[in-house]
Structure formats: structure tokens, C-alpha cells
Amino acid sequence: MSVRIVLSRMAETRRRFGWGAWLLFLLHTLVNRFVYFEWLELIVLDRRSLRPLPPHHGAGFTARLATADDLAALAAQPQWEIGEDKLRLFEAGDQCVLSLLDGQLAGYTWVHARGLPDLLPGLRLRLPGHVLYNYAGLTAPAFRGAGLQSMRHHSVLAQPQWTDREALVGYVRRINFASRKGQGKSGYRRIGAIWLFGRRGHPFIWLSPGARTFGIRLAEPPTPELPVHPADPATPSEGQLT
């Protein structure tokens, strides 16, 4: 990352989130000049904590699981950000839930239901059986501001094959202040953290007690590795979950 980009992000962080956030961003940047370090916050949205939608809020909104043909068509349009990695994850069993408004595709979110998501290279988690890992949501520019994020949460948990799942789990980088703020507004709560330190791709990993209490464990990464399950690219700040 160039010095110009770092300085620009630091200035934006101070302007939007204050000096405390600026200092944390600075420390994170300086540490990573010498050794790989990452701090991920694990977050959960319980079914019982879903924010009720006003009666008119979901008017014209529908959702359905994407087919292989759907994804092939979207992959041919760069604005939908369906690359080879997402297609490989679909082939491995992940699902993409399409969001439509008045019949027009407005966005999507991806769901991993097998309980072994790969958050980063070399970092695989084992999740309890009552949760889904929700990742890589996107809203088309023309539909941003329509409150699709809350409707997506409802639509995922309303899918017939997932009615036994009680929560959505995800993660956000500690220095992604915009995404953390957005997740708080959406009703997500923090359940723990993961710290990675050492060599990129093969770091020392420590899982916080809160995450362990929730039932999350570290798992052995697959060989060969599948693409990682990315966080949500909808937030401008470094593409993290929103």
C-alpha cells in the first residue's frame, strides 16, 4: 500500500471517526510494516434480534436462491463482482441469495451453511450447527439507501432449508470503523475476536474466550485451500462486512 493511500485513509479515519480511531489505524499500519498482524471481530445477528420491518418496507421485495445459470450470467457483468472464487465456492456448496425489487435484481448475499468457513488464507473456523456464515453482500448502486440489508437478513433466515438456523455469523476488521458502525445499526453484536500474528498465510492464531463460549473453534485449513469466504464488499472502507 502506497504512502499516499495510507495518509489519505488516516485523514479520512480521523475526520469520520475521531482521534482514537486514527491512533488505532496508525498503530495497525506501523505494526504491519514489520510483521503481519490482524484483528478480526466476530459478530452475530440472532433471529430473535432481527429488526422488524415496517409493513410498507418490503413492498416489491422478493428473494430466491441463485442458480448456476444466474451466476454465470452475473459473472459476465463486472459490476456484480462474481469472480472465479465465488463460482468455486458455489460449486463447493455455498449459496447466493438474490434480492429483487419489483422484479429487478437489486443485490445479493452469500451464505455458507456447512459450518467450516475460511475467513483468511490459513484461517478456517468450525461454527456451531445453529448458525449460518453470511458474507459478501452487495447492493447495486441504484438501490442503495432502500434498506435492503435488513431485508436480506430476513430473507436468508426465511429460506426453507435454513429455518432451523438461529443466527447469522460474520466478521469485521477492527480498523474498519465504517463497517463496525453499520453492523451495530443492523443489530449485530460482538461475540469475540480473533488475533493473527506472525507470517502472512501461516500466522499464530488466538481465539478469544467469548468466541469459544459461543461455540466457535479453530479448524484445520483444507488442502488444497478453497477460496476464502470474503467479508461484505458493500462498505467503501476496504470491503468489509456491512
**pLDDT tens by residue, 107-116:** 999 999 999 9
C-alpha distance from residue 69 to each of 62, 125, 137 (Å): 19, 30, 19
pLDDT of residue 237: 30
pLDDT of residue 224: 64
**pLDDT tens by residue, 132-175:** 999 988 999 988 877 777 788 888 998 999 999 999 999 988 88
pLDDT of residue 223: 65
Provide the CA 143 distance to its chain's centre, in angstroms: 19
**Cα dihedral sign, 30-31-37-41:** negative
Rounded average pLDDT over 126-136: 94
103 or 185, which is more confident?
A: 103
Predicted structure pTM score: 0.82
pLDDT of residue 85: 92
Grid cell at residue 131: 448458525
pLDDT of residue 241: 34
Taking the C-alpha atoms of residue 217 and residue 212, their distance in angstroms, rounded to an integer, is 6
Q: Where are the alpha helices (DSSP H) in the chain?
A: 3-17, 19-31, 68-75, 84-91, 148-158, 177-186, 209-214
pLDDT of residue 236: 32
Highest mean pLDDT among 27-36, 53-62, 85-94, 145-154: 85-94
Sequence-distant (6+) residues with CB within 8 A of 219 are: 116, 124, 125, 126
**DSSP assigned state of 18:** -
C-alpha distance from residue 234 to each of 72, 74, 120, 132, 223 (Å): 21, 17, 18, 19, 30
Q: Is the pLDDT of residue 59 over 90?
A: no
